[in-house]
Amino acid sequence: MSRITVLGGTGYAGGHIVRAAAARGHDVTSISRALPADQVAGVRYVTGSVLDDAVLASAVADAEVVISALAPRGELVGRVRPVLATLAGLAGDAGVRLGVIGGAGSLLVAPGGPRLADTASFPEAFKEEAAEMSAVLDDLRAREDDLDWFYVSPAAGFGSYAPGEATGTYRLGDDVLLADADGTSAISGADLADAVVTEIETPAHHRRRFTVAY
């Protein structure tokens, strides 16, 4: 059993991770701005703003693994990168493992590039978000301390608009977008969460990014 804290634990990705981790017997704390209407039994729900350094410090204090499922939307536009830089410093000092749920935009569409976010088909509305989460990955890769981090890029078709089902069967990759024979890149919230909790239980990606897709 691991002590896991999930920032953004009531959002789409974070909520799935919280449920999966609790179902597999982990000690889970969710931190979000508001309490969810439906709470998972056994999970501690804490309210607070990640813009408050004291909240970030508390997230690290009692955890073995901290997962960020934050997205640069709303009040967090342009602020996730500095928040995660602060969190990474706290986690490194405390010897806590850090996992970051990013996006697909920074994945390469083929070995050598380009990035998905730089292709003509990538929606303009999401380019700013993709750029910030790509910068978060760059920051983690540039760290010279001993922080044990991993960064997860879901498939391109990931989100509440395409919830899918829990299959327990998916593929892992590295920096190149995964797609099926028809060119579809997708993963359900439940299967992404399964991959994240499996990485916590059996660490395989140290200071590395991985992607998850069918």
pLDDT in tens, 61-115: 989 999 999 999 999 999 999 999 999 999 999 999 999 999 999 999 999 999 9
Q: What is the pLDDT of residue 156?
A: 97
- d(CA 150, CA 117) in angstroms, rounded, equals 21
Tell me the Ramachandran region of residue 140: left when phi exceeds 0, alpha when psi lies from -120 to 50, beta otherwise: alpha
What does the pLDDT average to over 14-34?
98
Q: How confident is the model at residue 16 (pLDDT cuts 50, 70, 90)?
A: very high
Q: What is the pLDDT of residue 51?
A: 98
Query: Rounded to two decimals, what is the model's pTM?
Result: 0.97
> Could you give the domains of the chain?
3-213 (3.40.50.720)
Tens of pLDDT along 153-163? 999 999 999 99
Crossing angle between the packed helical segments 80-94 and 127-142, to the nearest 10 degrees:
30
Tens of pLDDT along 122-132? 999 999 999 99
Question: Residue 64 burial by CB count (10 A; 0-12/13-18/19+): exposed, middle or buried?
Answer: middle
Tell me if 107 sits within 8 A of 116, measured CB to CB.
Answer: yes
